[in-house]
Amino acid sequence: MSNVPVAVVTGSNKGIGLAIVRALCKQFPGDVYLTSRDPGRGQAAVAQLQQEGLKPLFHQLDIDDLQSIRALRDFLKEKYGGINVLVNNAGIAFKVQDTTPFPIQAEVTLKTNFFGTRNVCTELLPLMKPYGRVVNVSSMVSSSALGGCSQELQQKFRSDTITEEELVQLMNKFVEDTKKNVHQKEGWPNTAYGVSKIGVTVLSRIQARLLNENRKGDHILLNACCPGWVRTDMAGPQATKSPDEGAETPVYLALLPSNADAPHGQFVSNKTVKPW
C-alpha cells in the first residue's frame, strides 16, 4: 500500500475537470487521477497534460455506473488505503435549444448530476483520510433555481435537519412531477439542471453535517462550489471565464491547509462563502 497522497477528479477529460487536474498536478503533493467514462478520451487528456510536463494518472470512471464507481473505490483502497482529495466535477447539461422532452431531460440530468454524484460520495466518502478534502462542483444556478422554488420547497432545501433520504425523495418527486406535467404547479422551477444542482448543494450540506457527527476529529472539510461561467462545451464560447479560471475555486477548496477548520458545508463562489 502506497503512502503517497492521492487526489481524484471525476469527469476530468475536458473542460473545468481537466483544468482542475492540471492545477492539482502542479500544486498537490501526490498522485492525481484524471477520470473519464471513455478510456480513449481519458488517455488522450492525460497525454495532453504530459506534453505540458505534468504527470497525471488515469482511471476509468462512469458515475452513472455503480460497478465503475466501486471498481475505482476498490482500486484506491488497495493501492492507497484511502483518498485525500475528491473533486466531484462530472456533470451534464442539455443545451437550451435541445428538443428532448423536458421529463426526459429531467430524468437524465438528475441521474448524473445528483444521483451519480451521490453514489460516488456513498462509495468514496468512507475512504476519506483524516484532513481529507471533498469538493462537490455545483453552480450558482442552484441559488437562482432555489429562488424559483415555492416557499415550502425553499424551506425544505434550506433546512439544517433535512436528511439524505428526504432529499432523495424530493429529487425523485421533481422527476415524477415533470412526467405528470405538474412540476411548476408543485412549486418547482422550470430547470432540470438547476434542480440537479440544488440537489448537489443540499447534499453537500447534509454530508458535512454527517462528517461533523461521525468523524469530528478527522478534520475533513467538504464543500459545494460554483466555478463560475466558464467557456466549456457545456456553457459555450460566450462565457466569461477560461477553464483554468473556473478551476480556481474548486482547487482552492481541494487544497485547504491542514490547520483550516472552514469553510465546511458551505456554498463557495470566487473563493467566498455565499448565503444559501
The pLDDT tens digits for 135-177 are: 999 998 999 999 999 999 999 999 999 999 999 999 999 999 9
The pLDDT tens digits for 218-234 are: 999 999 999 876 776 66
pLDDT of residue 263: 98
The pLDDT tens digits for 22-60 are: 999 999 999 999 999 999 999 999 999 999 999 999 999
Q: Which of 33, 80, 193, 252 is catalytic?
A: 193
* Catalytic site includes residue 193: yes
What is the CATH T-level fold of the domain 6-97+110-140+197-271, as seen in this structure?
Rossmann fold (3.40.50)
Q: What is the pTM of this model?
A: 0.96
- Segment among 59-68, 123-132, 185-194, 232-241 with least mean pLDDT: 232-241
Mean pLDDT of the chain: 95
Name the region of 81 (left: φ>0; alpha: ψ -120 to 50; beta: rest): left
